[in-house]
Amino acid sequence: MSDTVTTARRWNSFVCPGCRCVFRVPQDHDGTGVVCPACRVMLRLPGPDDELPPLISASAALAKPVDAGDYDDEDMDSDEAVTAARSDRNFIAILVMAAVVLVGIVAWWIMPEKKPVGPVVEADTPVQPAPQLTPAATPGGGTAVEPPKPLLVEIESVVKAFLDAPTREEALAQVLDPAATALKWDAWLAGKSYVAPGFQGVLGESKTTGTGEGAVSLLHVRIGDYTFREIALIKRDGRLKVDWESWAGWSEMSWQEFRKKKPVEPTLFRVQLSRVEYFNFAFTDDREWSSYRLDSPDGVDSIYGYVPRNGLLDQRLRPVDANAKPKWLLKLKFPRDATQDSQVLIDSVVDEGWVMPQNAGE
């Protein structure tokens, strides 16, 4: 047996100035540099006369690859220590995160409940939904809303009584101003016999503009020949009455008489309007005039109406949809010394739609 006694190996502790990792270095380490087992940066070990050993440049350290064979068993012990240190740090981080989550849950649990703003409604009190406003083309440019159920029942009852009335006299009982309407109705019939249009049902929802006296309800109905028509009802003296003039498309003169007499005074007409480009005879300058086609309510007759281009009337009448044919109440007249019976001046706009506004005569 050898007489030489092997002494236990001694170690020095060393702290990496970069990552603060603590590791051991043998006292008999035969070099001046060592690789940090945590961040893998080559470090210079302090010599006996060194006070503060400088850190080797990271770029210089990385430029030299480190081989696993450069470490001995003691170096591996150092790696295990680093791994244990990392595990401790991870455990601490998990504890901190768990504490934060727990604090958040407790804060949410004890947070006072926000009370709703507004009146308190008892649990057994039914909440009535607010009426849904739907923009619509209504007399006077107002906003139409769906009427409540009792009014819907009344509207349908009046419309059915008017359309199913077996005689003109019974139908007149459902209209505004029966006496004045009777004279207009006779002229409108032009000797033809009265025939009840018939009621087949209501299409879609009715829309009501205004409240109380003068409120207007518009709806579409299907009549006996299965075509659809618009009908208007107006509140008068606490009852709903059919606006016969808008239903029949009544005008102050028949279209045939208007063409024949060529009045130069403004005359009221109910028309369906569309934008066209027709310039001829007295209206040849398209820089001066805008042209519109005006169709009769029954679609049988049509004439051309003109207004100064880009004027207020032109801006109001011009349809947003080029293919639309909106209804208008217009006052029309012929130019003096007119040679054509199909070209007229649009004198003014009474209202959009065919229902006469209440203030039209003011």
> Taken in order 72, 74, 75, 79, is the CA torsion positive or negative?
positive
Give whole-number Cα distances, 23 to 41, 83, 342, in Å.
13, 11, 107
Q: What is the pLDDT of residue 117?
A: 45
Give whole-number Cα distances, 80 to 24, 85, 86, in Å.
11, 9, 10
The answer to whether 340 touches 282, Cβ cutoff 8 Å, is yes
User: Could you report how far apart the first and last alpha carbons of the chain are, in Å?
Assistant: 136
Quote the CA–CA distance of 325 and 295 in Å, as a whole number: 9
Sequential DSSP letters for 9-56: PPEEEEE-TTT--EEEEETT--SSEEE-TTT--EEEPP-TT-SSPPPP
| Residues 135-248, CATH architecture | Roll (3.10)
Quote the CA–CA distance of 146 and 208 in Å, as a whole number: 6
Q: What is the pLDDT of residue 122?
A: 43
Strands 42-44 and 343-352: unpaired
Which residues make Cβ contacts (< 8 Å) with residue 15, sequence separation at least 6?
21, 22
Structure tokens that stand for 288 in this block: 């001066």
Q: What is the pTM of this model?
A: 0.59
Which residues make Cβ contacts (< 8 Å) with residue 212, sequence separation at least 6?
235
Give which of 337, 334, 336, 355 is closest to 346, Cα–Cα: 334
Give which of 293, 339, 348 is closest to 316, Cα–Cα: 348
Q: What is the pLDDT of residue 125?
A: 41
- What is the side-by-side strand order in the sheet with 228-236? 133-134, 144-145, 199-209, 216-223, 228-236, 239-242
Give whole-number Cα distances, 171 to 1, 161, 182, in Å.
138, 7, 10
Q: What is the pLDDT of residue 203?
A: 87
Quote the CA–CA distance of 23 and 43 in Å, as a whole number: 12
Class (C level, CATH) for 255-361: mainly beta
pLDDT in tens, the chain (362 residues): 444 444 556 777 778 888 888 878 887 776 677 888 888 888 877 766 666 545 444 443 343 444 444 444 444 455 555 555 566 667 777 877 888 777 777 676 676 555 444 444 444 444 444 333 334 455 555 556 566 666 788 889 999 999 999 999 999 999 999 999 999 999 998 889 999 999 999 888 888 887 788 889 999 999 999 999 999 999 998 899 999 999 999 999 999 999 999 999 999 999 999 999 999 999 999 999 999 999 999 999 999 999 999 999 999 999 888 888 999 999 999 999 999 999 999 999 999 999 998 766 54
**Which spans in the chain are helix H?**
58-63, 73-110, 149-163, 168-172, 178-189, 244-248, 255-261, 312-317
Quote the CA–CA distance of 100 and 146 in Å, as a whole number: 54
Phi and psi at residue 163, to the nearest 5°: -75, -25
Give the chain's length. Answer: 362
Quote the CA–CA distance of 216 and 241 in Å, as a whole number: 10
Q: Domain ranges in the chain?
A: 11-82, 135-248, 255-361
Q: What is the pLDDT of residue 43?
A: 81
Kindly tell me the burial class for residue 13, based on how many C-beta atoms sit within 10 Å of its own C-beta (0-12, 13-18, 19 or more): exposed
Quote the CA–CA distance of 61 and 43 in Å, as a whole number: 8
